[in-house]
Amino acid sequence: MTTTQMKFTVDADIASTFKARCAVGGVSMASEIKRFMKNCRPAADTKTSTSTRPLRRKAVAGIIGSLNAIMAEEEAYRDNIPAVFTQRYDDADHACSQLSDAIACLEEAF
């Protein structure tokens, strides 16, 4: 098995939201990133293809779908927070806003 290290630069709020959602889901961040990136690699039968653009678009669409699912869960969490927990509500609302911004950036690039 080959190990590859990758470095990502993301907004600190997005990174912390991603880390928290992985912890809640019981999955490692590395496995989630690996799952996202899996679609970026060309399949064995597409080695003769001269363009990986369709594969990249498919990968981005998958990431957008995953982020939408995470955002829906975060919105449901936010909507069920009792009124006395204003800081938790504000944090969840901020996470939703950050996820929405990330999705908009990906859709713009897509």
Instruction: Enumerate residues 6+ apart whose C-beta is below 8 A from 57.
Output: 110
- 21 within some domain: no
Nearest to 36 by CA among 6, 5, 62, 3: 62
Please tell me the total number of residues recorded for the chain in this structure: 110
What residues make up the domain containing 57? 51-110
**Residue position matching structure tokens 């992985």:** 22
Who wins on pLDDT, 108 or 2?
108
- 46 within some domain: no
pLDDT in tens, 9-30: 667 777 777 777 777 777 777 7
Q: How far apart are CA 99 and CA 74, in angstroms?
A: 9
Tell me if the pTM is above 0.75.
no
- 45 within some domain: no
Domain total of the chain: 1
Who wins on pLDDT, 5 or 29?
29
Q: How far apart are CA 17 and CA 77, in angstroms?
A: 13
- 78 within some domain: yes
Nearest to 22 by CA among 8, 36, 2: 36
Q: What is the pLDDT of residue 8?
A: 59
Judge whether residue 47 has pLDDT over 60: no
pLDDT in tens, 83-104: 889 999 999 999 999 999 888 8
